[in-house]
Amino acid sequence: MKVRTLCGDVEAASLGQTLIHEHLAVDWGEMLGRPKILDFEYHAMRDKMVNALNAAHALGIGAMVECTPIGCGRYVDLFEDVARHTQVKIIGSTGFFHESWCPMHPIARVFDIDMMTDLFAREITEGMGDTLIRAGIIKCATGEGKVSPKEEQVLRAAARAHKQTGCPIITHTTGGLGNEQLDIFESEGVAPNEIIISHVGCEKDNWFEYSESLLKRGANVSFDRIGEPSFGGDEHWIALIQNAIAKGFLNQIMMSHDAGILIHGYNEIVNPGVELSGDFTYISREFIPKLKQAGVTEEQWQVMMVETPQRVLAF
Ligand SMILES: [Zn+2]
């Protein structure tokens, strides 16, 4: 089984500790139009991204999933250049984002499910955008409160592209709806154990019941805003992880930061005044020692950081 990285396919066993949901860039300029193209110095930005990854690599991180889908700052050439300058293996995303925080991408708006399925499959088997650099994961997303008709189409296209290619699916959730996402995938014949649900634990309340409801269905759950205080402190994540382990779901949970280096458009729309972390080291540096203090064993956190990501990313 292989994992498709920006630098080609690698043996899944070679990944090592993996951050399952991070970003090199989130840039909604293309969709927000202000400004459409962000002015940054290419080499300085590349080096900043490389340095952030190298800092994580020095602490044992071997791979990260770059979860930015089409049109949200997915600078494929830049990301590949970054990947060539670091030992951290990077997995790139096809797919579209949701439409609560910014408008749905113009291509997604005019494409039907079949066209989106073809696009995702092409990005996985041939290359993303106008490159020959292939995506290794399908990202899709739902907004707040309910799944919009266009978001549902994106999820169905993700399911169909997954069935054609075997490429894994990771979803963004905005305060819940993980079960509604699983319903859509199941209706397309994709089992919950083939899905990674992100941002679990960032809901307003009901965290234990909600995370268990996803895990009981077999889904893989990503606790991936660790170190971002506006979504809950370390105790919050430790309690959720311990609960999942106690209930027998160790093999379905993963950890990440949802950090990003180049962020444009996020703060003004989603979280005015909140600075997203650009640090991929918090989990290795601060959080895992705290997890161990709380009684999670070396073997258990290795399952969350090494074994489960390998399993879910391989195809
Ligand atoms: Zn994210």
Q: Within the chain, where are the H helices?
A: 29-32, 42-58, 76-84, 106-110, 113-125, 149-165, 178-187, 207-216, 234-246, 266-269, 282, 288-293, 298-302, 308-313
253 Cβ contact partners less than 8 Å away, ≥ 6 residues apart: 215, 220, 221, 222, 223, 241, 244, 245, 304, 308
Residues near ion ligand 1 (CB < 5 Å) are 67, 258
- Residue 12: both structure tokens together: 């899944």
pLDDT of res. 149: 96
Measured in Å, residue 297 CA sits from the centre of ligand 1 at: 27
Measured in Å, residue 258 CA sits from the centre of ligand 1 at: 5
* Start-to-end CA span in the chain (Å): 6
Measured in Å, residue 20 CA sits from the centre of ligand 1 at: 10
In which domain, by residue range, is 31 found?
A: 2-313
Q: How far is CA 225 from CA 80, 103, 237, in A?
A: 25, 23, 9
What is the rounded CA–CA span in Å between residue 280 and residue 101? 24
232 near 255, Cβ under 8 Å? no
Measured in Å, residue 298 CA sits from the centre of ligand 1 at: 27
Using pLDDT thresholds of 50, 70 and 90, give the confidence band for residue 273: low
Give the chain's domain count: 1
204 Cβ contact partners less than 8 Å away, ≥ 6 residues apart: 175
Measured in Å, residue 175 CA sits from the centre of ligand 1 at: 13
Measured in Å, residue 54 CA sits from the centre of ligand 1 at: 20
Measured in Å, residue 25 CA sits from the centre of ligand 1 at: 10
Measured in Å, residue 68 CA sits from the centre of ligand 1 at: 7
Measured in Å, residue 60 CA sits from the centre of ligand 1 at: 22
Mean pLDDT score, 208-234: 93
Mean pLDDT score, 183-205: 95
Neighbours of 38 (CB within 10 A): 16
CATH number, domain of 289, equals: 3.20.20.140
Average the pLDDT over each of 41-50, 56-65, 275-284 and give the range with the smallest value: 275-284
Using pLDDT thresholds of 50, 70 and 90, give the confidence band for residue 268: low
DSSP 210: H
Measured in Å, residue 84 CA sits from the centre of ligand 1 at: 23
Would you give the distance in Å from CA 164 to the centre of its chain? 21
